[in-house]
Structure 1
C-alpha cells in the first residue's frame, strides 16, 4: 500500500470476527463508542479502522485489548435500527498497523501506518494459488454455507494475496488464527497457512458429516420403530386384543418378579419380555416367546421339598412296600445313610438291575416316599435322539425342553427323585447319542450347570436324586 494515510482514523473494535482486505461484510454495532465512531466516519466521509478484540467476551475493551494490526475499510451503507443498534456494510481495503491510540473520550481513535506485503517466489506462489483455489472448491462443497459469489470470486481471482484473504475470510477457524493470517505479510507463507487450516477444517467437517449421518439414520430408525409400534397398538385396539395382550404382559412381569430366578435366567426373561412387548399378540413370534417364558417360569427355581433323614422310617417303608429283597433294601438304606451325612448328593448313583416285574420301579417310588421327595419316572426305552434329553433349540417349530426339564416342571421342586427307567434300552442314530447327553445330567461335577437347548440358561440338577 503506497498511498498516503490520513493522520488518524476512528477505530471500531470487532468481536468474534476478523475482516480481511477485499471482504464486504455486514456488521451489527451496539456499543455507544462504536456507534459514535461510525457517525464520525459518515459525517466526515472518512475511512474506519477495523481491528479485532483480543478477548471477545469483554464488553468495554481498553486499547490494550485491541489487536495492533487491522484493516482500513470503507463504509458502504449504514442503517439505524429501532432498538438503537446500527447495521453497517463495510469493505476492507488495506492492512495497517496501529502506531498509537489518540486521546478521545467519544470513541477510539488511532494513527496507523501501512503494511507492505512480500510477494515471495513467483513459481511457488503460483503453485500455491492453484492448490488453494482447487482445495477451496472441495471445501465449499463440504461446508455448504459458503455463498456462490465467494466461490466465483475465488475461482476468478488471479492475484495471490487477494485470493489468500478471500479464502481466509471464509474459513471456520478461531479469531486468533484468522488474526495470525491477517498479520502474515509474506504471501507464500499466508497461502501455506490458509491451505493448512483448510485441510484441518475439512478433516473435522468430514467427521462431523459422518456423525450427523449416523445420528440421522439412528433417529430415523427410532422414529420408524415408534411409528410402527403406535400403528400396531392402534390396530390391536381395533381388533380388541390390545388389552388382553397388556394383561398377559403384566402377568408375566409379575411372575418374573416373584420367581427366584438365577441372574442369567432373569436377564434372559427380561430380554424376552422386552421383545414380546414390541410384538403383536396374534403373531407367531409372540406365541413362541410366550411359550418360552411359560417354560422358563414354570420350572422350579429355588423351591425344595423338605427331605426326611430318618433311616428307621426308611427301612420301615421299604419293608412295608416290598417282601424279601433284603440285600437290595440293605444297600438302599446304606446309600440313604451316606446321603443323610452329606449336604450334596456327590456319591454314586444307585442302579437297579433285574428282569421286568421284580419291583425296580416300585423300589424307586418307595425310596422317594422314605426320603420325602417327589417321585418322577422317565422312561428312556427307545430314545434315540439327543434332543429328547437336552431339549430342542427354539429355531425349530414345536420345539420344547428335554425330558429332564419336563420332569422337574412336573415335580415342582428342585430336589425330586427321578427314576431313569429302562436306561439300557436307549439307542443312537444320526441325530446323536442320548447316552452321551446323560453324562451332563448324571455327573455330579457337571450337572450343577446343566443347559437345556430350549431354555438356553444354566439349571442346577445337583439337588436331584437319580436312580
Structure 2
C-alpha cells in the first residue's frame, strides 16, 4: 500500500508542468482585434485588459521581468449572461495562453483548494494544482468562476485558502498539502467572476480589482444578436443566412417581448428556437417519402 502511495505521489510530481509555459503574445493591436471580434462595446473592460498587456510588455522589454504585474487579479462582477466567462476566454486568446476554468459554486471544503495530506487514503492534490496539470502549462489564464458562491462548514473555509492563491506577495510559493513542495503561481493570470459582491469576504475582495459589468441596453442587445448570436446559431443548426432571414424587427420583438434580462442568454435561446423551426421546415421539405415493397 505504501508503495502505491509513493508511486502516485511521484507520478503526480512528474506530470506537473514545472518548466513548460506558453509564450505570451503582447501585441496590443492583436489583442484589441481579438477583444473586438468577441465582444461588442465593454470599452472600459477592454481598456483595462489592454493596460495590463501593455504594462506586462514594458516590464518584459525594459526590466526583463516575466512575472505578472502586482495587483493584476481581475474580478468581473455582473448579472448572469453578460459575458464574464467569455471575456476570460478572449483574454487567453489575445495573449496566446491556455484557458482553464474552475467553478467554485458550492465548494465548502478547504481541502478542495489546498489538497489532502498524503496520510489520508485516496488523497489527491487540490483543484488548483489539478487544473494546472490538466492545462499542461504553468502560466494559463485561470478563471475562478462564481467566487461569490463559496461556502464554509466544519471542514474549513475555502475562501481563506484562496487568500494565499490570490495574493501576489505569497503565491510564488503556494504549498499544496498533497505535494508539500512550493509551487510558483506568480505566472498564472487569475480572473474571478461573481454575480454579487455581498457574499465575498472583505479580505478576499481586497486582493482583487473589481470591474463591474452592467446589463445591456436594447440597442446593445440588438447589436450582439446581429453580430454574434444569430451567426453562431445559424452555424450550430447547419443553416445559411438565405435559409433564415431574421430581420432586426424580429430580433427587437424577441428582445422586448420574450426576454426580460440583463444579459443575453434567454435571447440566445429564443434565436435557437427560431432556427430549430426553420430546420424542421427545411428537413420536412427535403425528405423523400420511403417506398414500401
For normalisation by structure 2, the TM-score amounts to 0.61
The alpha-carbon deviation at position 287 of structure 1 amounts to: 1.6
Long gaps (5+) in structure 2: 60-64, 192-293
1:402-421 matches, within 5 Å, as: 402-421=126-145
Long gaps (5+) in structure 1: 1-283
Partner of 1:346: 69
Distance 2:110 2:53 in 1: 31
Partner of 2:17: 300
Distance 1:378 1:399 in 2: 20
* Residue number among 359, 366, 379 corresponding to 2:103 in the alignment: 379
The alpha-carbon deviation at position 465 of structure 1 amounts to: 0.7
Distance 2:84 2:11 in 1: 34
Partner of 1:166: none
Structure number with greater Rg is 1
Partner of 1:318: 35
Distance 1:465 1:449 in 2: 15
1:357 lines up with 2:74 in the alignment: no
Query: Higher relative contact order at CA 8 Å, sep ≥6: structure 1 or structure 2?
Result: 2
Distance 1:431 1:285 in 2: 26
Distance 2:168 2:23 in 1: 21
The alpha-carbon deviation at position 411 of structure 1 amounts to: 1.1
Partner of 2:123: 399
Partner of 1:431: 155
Residue 37 of structure 2 aligns to a residue in which SS? helix
The alpha-carbon deviation at position 345 of structure 1 amounts to: 1.1
The alpha-carbon deviation at position 336 of structure 1 amounts to: 1.9
Distance 1:422 1:383 in 2: 10
Number of aligned residue pairs: 184
**Cα deviation code 1:382-414 (max 9, x no counterpart):** 111111110011111111000110111011111
For normalisation by structure 1, the TM-score amounts to 0.39
1:450 lines up with 2:174 in the alignment: yes
The alpha-carbon deviation at position 370 of structure 1 amounts to: 0.5
The alpha-carbon deviation at position 339 of structure 1 amounts to: 2.3
* Residue number among 57, 72, 94 corresponding to 1:370 in the alignment: 94
Residue 143 of structure 2 aligns to a residue in which SS? strand
The alpha-carbon deviation at position 347 of structure 1 amounts to: 2.2
Q: Which ranges of 4 or more aligned residues in structure 1 deviate by more than 4 Å?
A: none
The alpha-carbon deviation at position 305 of structure 1 amounts to: 1.1
Higher fraction of strand: 1
Residue 77 of structure 2 aligns to a residue in which SS? coil
**Cα deviation code 1:333-367 (max 9, x no counterpart):** 12222222232213221111111111111100110
Distance 1:340 1:404 in 2: 26
The alpha-carbon deviation at position 316 of structure 1 amounts to: 0.4
Contact 2:55 2:69 in 1 (8 A): no
Distance 2:58 2:128 in 1: 26
Contact 2:16 2:136 in 1 (8 A): yes
**Cα deviation code 1:94-153 (max 9, x no counterpart):** xxxxxxxxxxxxxxxxxxxxxxxxxxxxxxxxxxxxxxxxxxxxxxxxxxxxxxxxxxxx
